[in-house]
Structure 1
């Protein structure tokens, strides 16, 4: 099987690559794996250092918006797993144009090339943020898309393009929508690695508003296993929610991190709330559970403890990244 993985040097994509090459997904026999990554600030060669020297794995530095490059890589591909995206909400508020270009235009370039080259399956990795915000209950895959940030709007646009290429052209494509991910190798602009690395450096953590925004937390390993199940067994044209089953307010998450790392509330610095900050995300994962046997296996406390330990042991990975200013 020939597999093209976009964004495979990023946090989630690189985990999928490492697991795939390591044999964690026997349903996907990745004999030939090509990683396409632009290697922007969030893409990191160090994320793939354990696999790049293996036979059958190659990294191509390039832009998913480059149609000629994409076409040259797509020929003969059986499976595309599309992770590549601009994903930081704060950055999208300040500079939305790049998000539209990468997330919408880039996805269309990939879809057209996959159609032209008759790719067997296309899996598009998306986010629960396309649904907007929900006061109670949980979203299933039939909920309307009501994105509230430029980032989530661009992801919703890409989701709809995937649907259109399936419905119009018959392209075998699936969409996954996941809740907030965490785990090793996550760029330290995201809340958990930002807070962990700040605390390791004795710096207070910035907590938005009153801290009552609720997120469902999903370990990256559970997420990638769900994506592999969708790639192997998902029905063409379908959307699958992949959640973690653990909802925490941002304040509860902060308190958990403080407790694990041995700090108290004096290390919390309240900051002005984000513009258009969604109050609550919650995914219904019943469809993926029934059809694919998906279930998150890593509970949030042990998962975060393991993640904290990884950042403690891998300062050489994250310290250079913290040296450049990022939004909080």
Structure 2
């Protein structure tokens, strides 16, 4: 199709989008471990929730496993994913003398530490999160069974049966919708007025920033695409936020090949963002696919700047910075 025959489309890029500092750190951990120790290195669960990233790391020599019994007892390291793990996992690795490297996002680790402090102070702990998410499994696994109760919705708050209503604390999964979490926190504070919250918001800066950009862009566009994986909590929340902010045609796609073009018929404007574990190359791939079918112009809406950096685990600080992982 000649360029003149293509329908016009204005793409509005959300900024910030894509990789956050915790994801960059986690990917660098795998790449640097391969550089320092040689292939293979083992990774328990997906290092981050993105198939493209995982496949790229597999090609470099990473082997992804579900549990530690799949890791042979040799000199090759095992890496724990950015989502964090229950305390039983490092303990198991230590009992087998495995070389363990922890790529848990420092903001997830912050939530773990909060949970431990509340527990030491005798508080019952309520965790706001999604039951099936590995971050929630890891956070609940920091403490003995029964020390943490999970709530997923406002309705769950009404069903809580704490031992001591006057000695409660809440923590949250880092990748939730700010608005949904706000409603649950409000319900907790109304039912338990003395409940203790985090000193600083648990939902991470990257989740907050990406959601705020989507809230600005969504009312301006006919459709919006979130580049991200279906098991990525922050990506799913971005799509929900876009829909709630006024863009009914909001879709999650992993790659350009997944785009259902019938969903975009007649659009004049398209919003585009990416979850915190989705690399920019996939955003560019989606833009390229639209450029083949539309005469595109590109604008960017930026709602904040990010300059966050997390230091590497000590085992890898002696290794030079790697080439970009993906």
TM-score (normalised: structure 1): 0.33
**RCO (CA 8 Å, sep 6+): is it higher in 1 or 2?**
2
Q: Which structure has the larger Rg?
A: 2
